[in-house]
Structure 1
């Protein structure tokens, strides 16, 4: 299996088939390069490495995306974190912890995103 297909498999397991299908439906000659890059490097290479488990990778992503103020990517990765076994309580603690290091405004925005996802998944 090549790295792009390996990355697509990780995405399928992390975000679900519906996410991958919706993403594929938006693919065009302009964005194909960045989608392939994400599949190859992000998911096919880094997410596929041994060393830390997927739940830990999800926790790291949530903290980093909160700190960077990236709510669209945060939304997807919170769903992925839940799929990787993160509980509502763990998500709250991750976001509260980021408030100390990334600032309260970033954490408040991230809490809003997380609440949206938790409601959607009927976990709140």
Structure 2
């Protein structure tokens, strides 16, 4: 998971992290502590003349919330829906950044589980005959 330090200049984050990777947001992490998320839309609102001197931490937001590492998939899905976000940071009990969970990952997991469940049913039928 791509993150950026709080003292990174807005211009560097826009050019190197967001545009360079086609991401729309990036978690801002100090050591292991999650500080917020920097969104391209918010960073781009800053006058270009200030991009080199403004640290990304000044524009990072915690508005979307976080998902505790102890959450279930259902909890994560509800949090994503309530926040109206495609991905949210996962944090431990001390606020340490663990990673990101995304709606697309949950959907992929659901597909894998469906396929696995179907394969197990097929195997059970074959074993029964």
TM-score class, shorter-chain normalisation, is under 0.3
| TM-score (ref. length: structure 1) | 0.23
TM-score under structure 2 normalisation? Answer: 0.23
Name the one with the larger helix percent.
Answer: 1
Q: Which has the higher strand share?
A: 2
Structure number with larger C-alpha Rg: 2
Higher relative contact order (CA 8 A, sep 6+): 1
